[in-house]
Amino acid sequence: MGISTLLDRQPRLHGRFDLRPLCADDLDALFAVAADPAIWAGHPASDRWQAPVFRRFFDDALASGGALVVFDPLTGAMIGSSRYDFTRVEAGEVEIGWSFLARSYWGGSANAAVKAMMLRHALGAVERVIFIVGEGNIRSRRAMEKIGGVLSDRSLDVQLGPDIVRHVVFVIDRAGFAAGPLHGVGER
């Protein structure tokens, strides 16, 4: 049995936030969050706030089989999404990516809490989690450093619309998670 069959890529996770599998009925509520152009400023897909572009992103997320939506349990509001993926990984890894949160959740510990919950779940089945970040996406690179991501020597070129964008790979493994800044974060 392969590692990818051991990891439930669409769990229901409960802690500081609630995560559940993305479904087709989530389009309008998730687009209401994603329609903020400032979320995508500095991101390689800076036009993702536009409805047709977001629709392609959403459809890809549904087809991936690993997409989750994030809710604030205090308000019940959908505040973003993320996903698990095995497409661009090496043995013993899963990728966490395609993540975004409403700007009202920036600047605090929301990103760390969501990532900690997802990491805790993933590292029960795999040794390492990778995060693929646009090389020029300074905000996401800083966020990765803040949560204990280690910049690896791996990179890849990703086709985004007509452009090819260089991406770097951050890694958090089991030992790094246990000793890092996210250990214990995100739990209720």
- Spatial CB neighbours of 127, under 8 Å, sequence gap ≥ 6: 92, 93, 173, 174
Does the pLDDT of residue 2 top 70, yes or no?
no
What is the value of pTM for the model shown?
A: 0.92
Q: Is 140 contained in some domain?
A: yes
Question: Is 186 a member of any domain?
Answer: no
Does residue 184 form part of some domain?
A: no
**Residue 29 neighbours by CB distance under 10 Å:** 14
State how many domains the chain has.
Answer: 1
Question: For position 175, which CATH number holds?
Answer: 3.40.630.30
Residues paired with residue 94 on neighbouring β-strands, in sequence order: 129
Tens of pLDDT, residues 148-171: 999 999 999 988 778 888 999 999
- Residue 188 covered by a domain: no
Distance of CA 169 to the CA centre of its chain: 13
Which of the two residues, 120 and 108, has the higher pLDDT score?
Answer: 120
Residue 175 included in any domain: yes
Q: Which domain does 149 fall in, by range?
A: 3-179
Q: What is the pLDDT of residues 68-106, one digit of tens each?
A: 999 999 999 999 999 999 999 999 999 999 999 999 998
In a domain, 71, yes or no: yes
Could you read off the pLDDT of 24-36 as tens digits, one per residue? 999 999 999 999 9
Instruction: Calculate the CA 30 to chain-centre distance.
Output: 14
User: Does a structural domain hold residue 26?
Assistant: yes
Q: Which residue from 60, 105, 97 is spatially nearest to 172, judged by alpha carbons?
A: 97
Matching residue, tokens 């706030």: 49
In a domain, 187, yes or no: no
- Strands (E) in the chain, as ranges, are 13-14, 18-21, 67-71, 78-85, 93-101, 128-134, 150-160, 163-173
Q: What phi and psi values does residue 74 have, to the nearest 5 degrees?
A: -75, -35
Helices (H), 23-167: 27-34, 37-40, 51-64, 110-122, 138-146
Token code pair at residue 181: 């800044």
